A and B are shown apart, each in its own frame.
Chain A
């Protein structure tokens, strides 16, 4: 069942991009759109958008870099460890939960490390990979998406994003305890 679902999704994922090209361009030709000219017209914006993101991403990544390099993560983990043990979260996975919204590459490294130490099919291994798959790098998405249109006042986007992250991690923990629980 899982295997079938996975195969179907895999086929869709592989075929999606070529299919989109075909449908979009084909539809354009049918509707007599000057496809080449229109494509170039649209593609021109790619450069500006990418450049516009730079200051936002620099600000975000530098702050996260300083935080990580200082070892402040250990302090946060120490503060959170009573809470995590209360809800049955293995202490090894607390750093991953905190790092997940901050840094994509960092949390990927941490997940790999946890699997290397505890084994990918151990409870910690499964939980770590589920946690990684249960969320996105919130701060990165925030900087890139809002940066591209010059949004400086992000209003309630960050609190809502962090609430989503917390629930994502709790959801991952809950479901893993039910299915692979110790």
Chain B
């Protein structure tokens, strides 16, 4: 199943992205080639050295919305602007995009050559008598294939993120694996395992009651409950390593692994620290009010996950994948 989900994420993403770009192109969402009217309040006039006007670009929200056929711009647009007359007689315009810019222009700027500015050419320019105000008509740089560009960027960025996350695990992994190794040598894990046998032997019938995997799984679940994410992941990976020692068919998940994974993905935590912290930061009167509801929600997830994992593992199609045979071809359907 993982194969299909993975493939669908990519294929659906690419199709939707390409479709959106084609529809943008047809509808000319970004008004490529059409001039927008604006007013420039001149602050610096050209000198002998530089034929550049600096000032503030002003467009009323209403005419901005009308031009792009949107409704999102709420207030008048006021942005720093520079106009330069080149030796060829052509006048270019550079609009600096900042946090107060309308979202629509910010998106356009992200997808054009200068990431925090919009470039364009001035079609016509008409100064007031004292040269302090200019009426301009501007054609902005062409913007297209926004989604395909975003997809390319996301693919490269996320590949990078994956490596950052993995490498970031090295330190905590080493720390916890070291600590757990001491506990293992000291016989502490055996003790912990023995205490919890009644529960774990039911959840993981394939794992021998005194196997070190049991202790690692118990510690991982305990760490998750306490919201100790830094400790939970290394302990969980330790448990996977131990479970894999019992795996007759390397590369294929065993029933115990799937059960353990589902417990982890359901994420039962006694105190959802991240959500509470964000609630507090947002000025909630009662940030901790979600503790009970979260435990209930994650409890539902855990029960549903355990029930479905136990039912699914009995289905012939998943049972079949566990069989070890010499001429088993690549049946990695996930």
Q: Measuring CB to CB, which residues of chain A are less than 8 angstroms from any residue of chain B?
A: 2-3, 5-6, 9-10, 12-13, 16-17, 20-21, 23-25, 27-28, 30-31, 33, 35, 38-47, 49-51, 53-54, 57-72, 75, 101, 108, 111-112, 115-116, 119-121, 125-126, 129-138, 141-142, 144-146, 148-161, 163-172, 174-176, 179
Interface 9-mer from B47-55, B87-95, B204-212, B231-239: B231-239
Residue pair A27, B186 in contact (C-beta under 8 Å)? yes
- Indicate with 1 or 0, residue by residue over B230-255, a CB within 8 angstroms of chain A CB atoms: 01011011001101100100111100
Looking at the complex, which one of A23, A135, A149 makes contact with B265 (CB distance below 8 Å)?
Answer: A135
- Our pick among A21, A57, A64 for the contact of B166 (Cβ within 8 Å) is A57
- In the complex, the chain A residue whose C-beta lies closest to that of B5 is A158
B-side contacts of A54, CB under 8 Å = 162-163, 166
Instruction: Render B1-40 as a binary contact track against A, CB cut-off 8 A, 1 for contact.
Output: 1100110011011101100100000000000000000000
Number of interface residues of B (CB under 8 A): 119
Q: Which residues of B contact A49 (CB under 8 A)?
A: 169, 173, 177, 237, 241
Instruction: Tell me if B313 counts as interface (CB < 8 A to partner A).
Output: yes
Residue of B nearest to A7 (CB): B288
By the criterion CB–CB under 8 Å, are B271 and A70 in contact?
Answer: no
- Determine if A156 and B312 form an interchain contact, defined as CB atoms under 8 angstroms apart: yes
> Which residues of B approach A to under 8 Å, CB–CB?
1-2, 5-6, 9-10, 12-14, 16-17, 20, 147, 150-151, 153-155, 157-159, 161-163, 165-167, 169-188, 223, 226-228, 231, 233-234, 236-237, 240-241, 243-244, 247, 250-253, 257-258, 260-262, 264-267, 269-276, 278-279, 282-294, 296-305, 308-309, 312-313, 315, 318, 321-322, 331-334
Complexed CA–CA distance, A167 and B297 (Å)? 8
Which residue of A has the minimal Cβ distance to B262? A160
Closest CB pairs A-B (n = 5): A42-B181, A134-B297, A171-B300, A46-B174, A164-B305
Residue of B nearest to A1 (CB): B292
A182 to chain B, nearest CB (A): 15
* Given contacts A135-B297, A171-B297, A28 and B291 within 8 Å (CB-CB): no
- Mind listing 28 A-B residue pairs with CB under 8 Å? A3-B288, A12-B226, A16-B226, A20-B179, A24-B179, A28-B185, A30-B186, A39-B182, A65-B158, A67-B9, A75-B12, A101-B265, A108-B274, A111-B278, A116-B282, A125-B279, A126-B290, A132-B274, A135-B301, A152-B332, A153-B253, A155-B253, A160-B258, A160-B305, A168-B298, A168-B301, A170-B300, A172-B297
- CB proximity of A141 to chain B, nearest CB, Å: 5
Residues of chain B within 8 A (CB-CB) of A16 are 223, 226, 228, 231
Minimum CB–CB distance for A175 against chain B, Å:
4
Q: Please name all residues of chain B whose beta carbon is closer than 8 Å to the beta carbon of A152 when the two chains form the complex.
A: 251-252, 332, 334
In the complex, what residues of A have CB within 8 A of residue B20's CB?
Answer: 70-71
A108: chain B residues within 8 A (beta carbon): 274, 278
B179 cross-chain contacts in A, Cβ below 8 A: 20-21, 24-25, 39, 42
Give the residue of B14, B250, B282, B292 whose beta carbon is less than 8 angstroms from that of A112.
Answer: B282
Distance (whole angstroms) from the CB of A137 to the closest CB of chain B: 8
Residue of B nearest to A54 (CB): B166
Q: Is the CB of B258 within 8 A of A156?
A: yes
Q: Is A160's CB under 8 angstroms from B309's CB? A: yes
